[in-house]
Amino acid sequence: MRCIPAVVTAGLLAAALLSAGDQKKDDPSQIGNRDVGKGVNFYSLEKEMALGRQLAQEVKRQAKMLDDPIVNEFVNRVGQNLVRNSDAKVPFTFQVIDGPEVNAFALPGGYVFVYAGLLKMADEEDEFAAVLAHEIAHVAARHMTRQATRQQIARIGSIPLGIALPGWGGVAAWQGAGLGIPMTFLSFDRRDEAEADYLGVQYMYAAGYDPNGAVSMFEKMEALERKDPGAVSRLFSTHPMDAERIGKTQQEINRILPSRAEYVVTTSEYAGIRERLLARDNNRKPETSTPHLKISLGAKDE
Ligand code: ZN
């Protein structure tokens, strides 16, 4: 029997991860025909969707969801239009959390949550669409499960493969290692953030929005964060919005997205949705915001 040291295997896998970034992603006319989620991944799409469904149920148990079918339907419609113009291969749901935070996040497998505070901050529909498109891009590129895979590879470099293997693909291994499930899936490294920015503006463009809405939204978030550190939720500030990221997005728009005569910047329907939310705030007493979500899964194996 030949023994391959675990550390060598991990090295080979790491090399495969690096080459996975070589795919052509610069051509928006190829959206849907390119495998942007390619890369070493211990999760099948089915497993990823099941995991996302479970985490989404946990979010809905803990968060105060917005009880307004008109706003929810609108957000879902804007989101689905972007999904149709994306590389994503899973069905999506978009849901609104009733809280003032300027935040949105996507769980593995297509479960996107946005806070009402984000809609209030985005004055125009293209700015709101920019955040949804960014989150859709994280899912399309399968950043959550690829990152979890990378973490597992890093860990098996130091322990015998025979012990590590049974835990692959399951959540039990992370819990055993004391890793928080939320941060595993909700914080991204700089490269993944840059890729989500890059793909996100392409999806906006393909859906007919002005991709410059992403730049103005990023500028708003950066200004708010500078004025009131921590205002832009912790999840966004893992890799904070800064001048470099904004400049890079602007350059990419100029480089790969040929300008069009007309774009959707905003709509009267979007203005109506924002008025609805702002009117709700005026009609009710101030209340504390939704506490930080703590997501955990019960012990579970495959
Ligand atoms: Zn992101």
138 alpha-carbon distance from chain centroid: 4
CA dihedral 126, 128, 132, 138 (to 10 degrees): 90
The pLDDT score that the predictor gives to residue 161 is 42
Question: What pLDDT is stored for residue 176 in this prediction?
Answer: 30
CB 140 within 8 A of CB 196: no
The packing angle between helices 125-140 and 143-156, to 10°, is 40
Residue 168: what pLDDT?
A: 34
- What is the distance in A from the centroid of ligand 1 to the CA of 301? 28
Residue 138 Cα, ligand 1 centroid: separation in angstroms? 7
Alpha carbon of 4 to ligand 1 centroid (Å): 37
pLDDT at 137: 96
| List of the chain residues with pLDDT < 50 | 1-2, 4, 7-8, 15, 18-22, 159-182, 235, 237, 296-302
Dihedral (CA of 233, 236, 240, 242) sign: negative
Using the mean position of ligand 1's atoms as its centre, give its distance from the Cα of residue 270 in Å.
23
Phi and psi at 53, nearest 5°, equal: -60, -40
Active site residues: 135
Report how far ligand 1's centroid is from the alpha carbon of 198 (Å): 11
DSSP 184-211: HHH---HHHHHHHHHHHHHHHHHTTB-T
Distance of CA 51 to the CA centre of its chain: 15
Determine how β-strand 111-115 pairs with β-strand 93-97: parallel
User: Coil, helix or strand for 147?
Assistant: helix
Report pLDDT for 248.
95
254's tokens: 């100029």
CA of 135 to the centre of ligand 1 (A): 6
Buried b (16+ CB within 10 A) or exposed e, 26-35: eebeebeebe
